[in-house]
Amino acid sequence: MDPRLALAVMAGKASATLIRRLGRGGGTAAPGVVASRVDPAILDKLARQVAAGCVVVAGTNGKTTTARMLAGICACAGLRVIHNRTGSNLVRGITAAFAAQSSLTGRPRGDVAVIEADEAAFPEVVRRTRPRLILLLNLFRDQLDRYGELDTVAARWGETLRALPPTTIVLVNADDPALATLTEGLTAPRRTFGLRDGRHQLDQLPHAADAATCRRCGAPLTYARLFLSHLGDYVCTGCGYRRPPLDTAAREVALCGLEELTLTLETADGPLALRVGVPGLYNAYNALAAAAAALALGLPPVAVAEGLAAFRSAFGRIERVTYRGRRLVIVLIKNPVGFNEVLRMLEMGGAAPTLILINDLDADGRDVSWLWDVDAERLRDAPVPLYTGGIRGDEMALRLKYAGVPPERLVPLGDLPDALDSFVDDLPPDGTGFVLPTYTAMLRLREVLAARGVVHSFWQD
Amino acid sequence: MKLTICWLYGTTMNIYGDRGNVLALAQRCRWRGIDAEVVTLGVGEPLEPGRYDLFFWGGGQDREQIPVAEDIRGPKGEVLRAEVEDGAPLLAVCGGYQLLGAFYRPHDGPELPGIGLFDAWTIAGDERFIGNVVVDSDEFGEVVGFENHSGRTHLGPTARPLGRVRIGHGNNGSDGTEGCRYRNAIGCYLHGALLPKNPAIADFLIGAALRRRYGEVALPPLDDALEAAARAAAVRRALATR
């Protein structure tokens, strides 16, 4: 036994308990800081002992959902899983999760670790956990005030990926041209996944998409099929670089309203029909990624099917609550691509009055200019009133005004909790409303709903 | 009446919601019964003299700026300069602003020559200036936006700034200026997007375009209550976060 490690684990656990007893939140990150203070190498030491190895999941959108899907599949395969499931995805949050799920003797209580990593933390997380598999989902514009330009993130990832040993598998979404080029010519073996489906196409690149130019030669890309943002089946008009062949592909993606989706996975061992309990094309990508990762880890297809069938959404990503007799569908929005895809998904469930809550605290990104990259014009002809609220709700109202939403359908409200009350007052009894909060607005919304006995606190999730 | 808006390099340089500026220009024309057509002009596509009434040029990533810098050095830059000299209104934000100066010197890689429309030059600094900005402008009053740049822009002796920074860093973080004004052209670091929250600037650009094309035209006021509310929120946040 490593006494220093054991002490660090104990310190982490004790501080997590203390924080919760004091009612200071979920204790999902601070215990990691405390534990690392005692033993700076705690994460490296614990990660090394995980028998079936660590999986690091990274990407702009879908990390939390995909990691939870994969953890669910692992559990169905009979593995005990270490997982930062609340989405606390900086090094300290990951350390806290490992400490919480290890014994007091410093032994991880898991056969496999599924680690969601923040884009900026990705290099350090990879260096310290030495993953067996890295799952790369997508790279979209997100919180430019925090992460900097997308090219900066891509360059740092590239350095990390090129330094990987041949024992790490890099599993990449080949539909993302930026990730595909970034994973060419690595020492580590690469596997790919993507969509092979003609049903869900975009006519043109959304405004939120980064320039669809080749990262090898700078020439424009053309798409045989464009599925989501800049994800699709592409070829470069200059150097001819095209989407790499897919090792695992999804076809026959059927999106069934706001409830679920089905798809058929093409694998090396034949087709596998999957049913997933979350809606939207972006979740089809998440399910495809989780399934491809599970298969790459050698888990049985039946566990993949069972794990995804049993999957329920991560907290705040998509939630349905009943409040004062009204059904509220709450969907997190984080960045322009996510916002666009949420609007695309909600359209399939039929229109409902919608409350959009925009905050500009650090965790949301202090720069609200991203709202102007959202294709809010989709809402112009929605036959329902649109409400705005949150610290920067007025900016959202302005965005909708310039999208052409007529004033009689535009209702600017103040901050929470008043915005929620006014919105719910306006909904017919038994009616349905959509609520789209940014991250800290979602936390605040849950706080309000929890205080009124409607939802559980997230760390009980 | 109709105005044709030229969105320079709109497909590659459209970071940080700068598209909101084009939306604001077009919508504020339409709400007044003026047709507005937006034409996006990319690298290699010629700029036809006399065709456009208003120019917008947004920011981009460094990588995207290189082919653009080369493109604007050619005939396109000459036409653009002649249009502005002739009174055409132009708004350039961040990357576009930098390339309208004498040069942009990045951290690494070659210096990018600009077209020298503004008497200004830009050198990349170490610290990135990120945050809410409030500027006091004699022409437009209180101007709000969000800056995110590492370039330090210095104004030459003939240059006139857009305004003085009240909150934030502005052109270079040291001399208190933000942006640059020349004839009916405005260059600045203000994302946000700028024009929806600062309708006085949008209407200045539209008014200048109308005058140049149609002579003296009255610009009827619009109900800017939502604009004012969004501005006030931005100023409050600027005060709270800097």
Candidate from B12, B130, B237 with C-beta closest to A145:
B130
Of A283, A309, A335, the last residue of a domain is A309
Q: Kindly state the tokens that stand for A159.
A: 């350095």
Contacts of A218 in chain B (CB under 8 A): 63, 67
Is the CB of A386 inside 8 Å of chain B's CB atoms? no
Share the mean pLDDT of chain A.
Answer: 91
Decide if pLDDT at A14 tops 70: yes
Output the domain CATH number for residue A406: 3.90.190.20
Decide if pLDDT at A421 tops 70: yes
Candidate from B14, B148, B234 with C-beta closest to A145:
B148
Cα separation of A402 and A399, whole Å?
5
Q: What percent of chain B has pLDDT over 70?
A: 100
User: Taking each helix axis from N to C terminus, what angle separates A3-21 and A30-38, rounded to the nearest 10 degrees?
Assistant: 150
Cα separation of B189 and B216, whole Å?
31
Q: Tell me which of A203-217, B90-104, B207-221 is least confident.
A: A203-217
Q: What percent of chain A has pLDDT over 90?
A: 74
What was the pLDDT predicted at A23? 72
Whether residue A222 sits in one domain with residue A243: yes
Q: What percent of chain A has pLDDT over 70?
A: 95
Q: Residue B63's pLDDT band (boundaries 50, 70, 90)?
A: confident
Whether residue A292 sits in one domain with residue A424: no
Whether residue A284 sits in one domain with residue A339: no
Q: Which amino acid is at B99?
A: L
Whether residue A400 sits in one domain with residue A336: yes
Query: Which single residue is written with the structure tokens 């002649």?
Result: B82
Contacts of B127 in chain A (CB under 8 A): none
Chain A residue with Cα closest to B67: A218
What was the pLDDT predicted at A459? 44
Q: Residue A25's pLDDT band (boundaries 50, 70, 90)?
A: low
Q: Residue A175's pLDDT band (boundaries 50, 70, 90)?
A: very high
Candidate from B67, B191, B241 with C-beta closest to A369:
B191
Whether residue A13 sits in one domain with residue A122: yes
Give per-residue pLDDT as tens, A431-446. 999 999 999 999 999 8
Active-site hit among B6, B29, B94, B188: B94
Kindly report the number of other CB atoms within 10 A of residue B60's CB atom: 24
Whether residue A324 sits in one domain with residue A280: no
Candidate from A144, A395, A397 with C-beta closest to B16:
A144
Taking residues B144-153, report their average pLDDT.
95
Decide if pLDDT at A144 tops 70: no
Q: Residue A95's pLDDT band (boundaries 50, 70, 90)?
A: very high
Q: Is A333 helix (H, G, I), strand (E, B) or coil?
A: coil
Taking residues B165-193, report their average pLDDT.
97
Domain limits for position A88? 3-309
Whether residue A378 sits in one domain with residue A271: no
Share the mean pLDDT of chain B.
Answer: 94
Whether residue A303 sits in one domain with residue A331: no
> Per mean pLDDT, which of A259-263, A405-409, B106-110 is the most reliable?
A405-409
Give per-residue pLDDT as tens, B81-98. 999 999 999 999 999 999
What was the pLDDT predicted at A460? 44
Domains observed in chain B: 2-215+222-241 (3.40.50.880)
Of A309, A342, A360, the last residue of a domain is A309
- Picking from B9, B12, B16 by the largest number of A CB atoms within 10 A of its own CB, the best residue to mutate is B16
Decide if pLDDT at A45 tops 80: yes
Decide if pLDDT at A457 tops 60: no
Q: Tell me which of A201-210, A366-375, B21-30, B130-139 is least confident.
A: A201-210
CA distances from B169 to A249, A308, B107, B132, B165 (A): 49, 50, 19, 9, 7
Burial of B219 (0-12, 13-18, 19+ CB in 10 A): middle
Output the domain CATH number for residue A236: 3.40.1190.10
- Picking from A146, A369, A375 by the largest number of B CB atoms within 10 A of its own CB, the best residue to mutate is A369
Decide if pLDDT at A109 tops 90: yes
Cα separation of A292 and A174, whole Å?
12
What was the pLDDT predicted at A435? 96
Give per-residue pLDDT as tens, B5-36. 999 999 877 778 899 999 999 999 999 999 99
What was the pLDDT predicted at A291? 98
What was the pLDDT predicted at A116? 96
Decide if pLDDT at A458 tops 60: no
Whether residue A323 sits in one domain with residue A287: no
- Picking from A150, A204, A372 by the largest number of B CB atoms within 10 A of its own CB, the best residue to mutate is A372
Phi, psi of A448 (to 5 degrees): -65, -45
Decide if pLDDT at A314 tops 70: no
Is the CB of A362 inside 8 Å of chain B's CB atoms? no
**B169: annotated active-site residue:** no
Whether residue A176 sits in one domain with residue A46: yes
Of A309, A334, A363, the last residue of a domain is A309
Whether residue A136 sits in one domain with residue A247: yes
Q: Residue A148's pLDDT band (boundaries 50, 70, 90)?
A: low
User: What is the total count of domains within chain A?
Assistant: 2
Cα separation of A367 and A438, whole Å?
12
Q: A200 or B99, which is more confident?
A: B99
Q: Which of residues 388-427 of A touch B (CB under 8 A)?
A: 391-395, 397-399, 401-404, 412
Decide if pLDDT at A452 tops 70: yes
Whether residue A298 sits in one domain with residue A359: no
Q: How high is the ipTM of this complex? A: 0.96
Q: What percent of chain B has pLDDT over 90?
A: 88
